[in-house]
Structure 1
Amino acid sequence: MRRTGYEPTQARSPLRLRFGLALCGLLWGAAAAVVFAVYGHPGWAAFCAAVAAVAAADCVLVVRRIRQGAHFQPGRDVPPYEPVRERDRADHGQRRGP
């Protein structure tokens, strides 16, 4: 099959970069929250703690996606799902139960 478009032949996922940025946001947010709390700025401390919480949630999601591994991406000639068979259509229309 011939490739078309400008996509790279060996594309890499940006998940590791996103994880690094989220980890940086987590560390800086937590450190800033502690510093602002020590110096008596509860509003800023709460804001930085919220930033750290969002970054922590993003870290969890990114790690989950990385552990899932690569997903199959079908080409133009491959349907993204298995076609419905006639037998399955007939079974789907029948009701079960009383």
Structure 2
Amino acid sequence: MRTGNEPSTARSPLRMRLWLSLWGMVWALFGLVAFVATGRAGWAAACGVLLVITVTDLCVVVHRLRQGPHYQPGRDIPPYEPDRGGRGRYRR
């Protein structure tokens, strides 16, 4: 929801998520290889699951980065009226 007080230089955290995903992927892969080499199957499985999660996150981030910027209303568009706590369409 747009409140009207967003900074004009706001940036997406996707690039930070990209680097954190890469960092996590490297460490999960290192842990997987190290634990398989030492014969610790439980820890290797945990690192394998973590590796799958980081690769999935990396794919999502790359997909969203390739989508490009989305429409953002300019300064001439007034902010949305805040929810005053009234009974909305989907509230119970």
Normalised by the length of structure 2, the TM-score is 0.74
Alignment of 1:1-98 (within 5 A): 4-5=4-5, 7-74=6-73, 75-76=77-78
Bigger Rg, which one: 1
Stretches of 4+ aligned residues off by more than 6 angstroms: none
Percent identity, please. 42
What's the C-alpha RMSD, in Å, of the aligned pairs? Answer: 1.7
For 1:60-84, what per-residue CA distance to the aligned partner results, in whole angstroms no more than 9, with x for missing partners? 000000000000023447xxxxxxx
The one-letter code matched in structure 2 to 1:23 is L
Give the Cα separation in 1 of the matches to 2:67 and 2:78: 24
Aligned residues: 74
Which residue matches 2:86? none
Which residue matches 2:83? none
**Higher RCO (Cα < 8 Å, 6 or more apart):** 2
Unaligned ranges ≥5, structure 1: 78-98
Give the Cα separation in 1 of the matches to 2:35 and 2:17: 26
